[in-house]
Copies of this chain bind each other. A is one copy, B any other.
């Protein structure tokens, strides 16, 4: 018996990645893949063809993955839930606790405020909220890496209250999506590296702020500096975390080990090693290293694949929890 899956927004980079992962998943069976732009064309990694959104019946599936843009996702989520299907929304629509916050960062009214709040799905940080539920907001790629880096300290209250938490992050170009633009033109990206929307301009800032403050209400503002790297995929961030005085370095290490020691997708590197993009690419893993240059500040490096743990494979991981399947199903090859 398979769980029947529908994917909306299936032709973008995240959608394609998701479909390739679904193809290797024993319990999930792709029933339809929606793309208005590529309707009628073959779906890579599948025997299906893309179908226009008005030609699929949401009742035919047990769950949907929404890789649609923000604004378009929430109405589809509402429709799916009404029809009895579970939802993992990979857009930003369900990530904020309140419609007010959403409007502040996305400059538009929330399209389905009744759906808020929806659990925010990083299983390593809040797994107990995600099991057997019907809807999950799949986090942004940058927030996934940033929160995996900072959360253990936030949860135990080791952050210096109200002090800025700096996240200097770097991502491959697939994070910018499949639509051609000057920003993603090969000649523009090649040989370059550029920060963009740095400080508190990027929309992911709000997501990181919100989640940190849930864990530690006195968390200071996130200073978030995304950079565009001349690679296709992969994401790495260094978080500069100001510490409360009474936390020692060995306590810090223990905090991360306690949080992550049993996590199949987290690799906490030993001292002396530093996480790098390549460690994480094409996996659902997050690779984390800790560095203590001065007593008052910890540096945490976290590398993920922006299309996997930052999007599609984390969505699968969340879906596994929703159906009470083994969390690693379809994500780790067993022999």
Say whether A174 faces chain B, with CB atoms less than 8 Å apart: yes
Interface flag for A127 (CB, 8 Å): no
Instruction: Report yes or no: A191 in contact with B296, Cβ–Cβ below 8 A.
Output: no
Name A225's contact: one of B185, B193, B238 (CB within 8 Å).
Answer: B238
**Oligomeric state, in copies:** 4
- In the assembled complex, the Cα of A78 lies from the Cα of B238 at a distance in Å of 42
Assembly CA distance A286 to B187 (angstroms): 22
A116-167 at interface with B (beta carbon < 8 Å):
164, 166
Interface assignment of A256: CB less than 8 Å from any CB of chain B:
no
Check: A231 CB closer than 8 A to any chain B CB.
Answer: yes
Task: Determine, out of A65-73, A84-92, A195-203, A309-317, the stretch whose residues face the partner at the interface.
Answer: A195-203
- Is A115 an interface residue, CB under 8 A from the partner? no
Task: Assess whether A190 is in contact with B232, with CB atoms less than 8 Å apart.
Answer: yes
Q: A230 CB to closest chain B CB, in angstroms?
A: 6
Chain A residues bordering chain B, tally (CB within 8 A): 62
Look across to chain B and name the residue whose beta carbon is closest to the beta carbon of A194.
B276
Other-chain residue from B172, B191, B333 in contact with A231 (beta carbon distance below 8 A): B191
Query: Contacts A178-B185, A230-B230, A236-B193: A198 and B294 contacting too (C-beta < 8 A)?
Result: no
23 intermolecular pairs with C-beta atoms under 8 Å apart: A23-B335, A25-B335, A166-B166, A168-B168, A178-B187, A186-B186, A186-B232, A187-B232, A187-B233, A190-B232, A191-B277, A192-B231, A192-B234, A193-B229, A193-B276, A194-B278, A195-B238, A195-B276, A196-B274, A200-B293, A200-B294, A229-B230, A333-B333
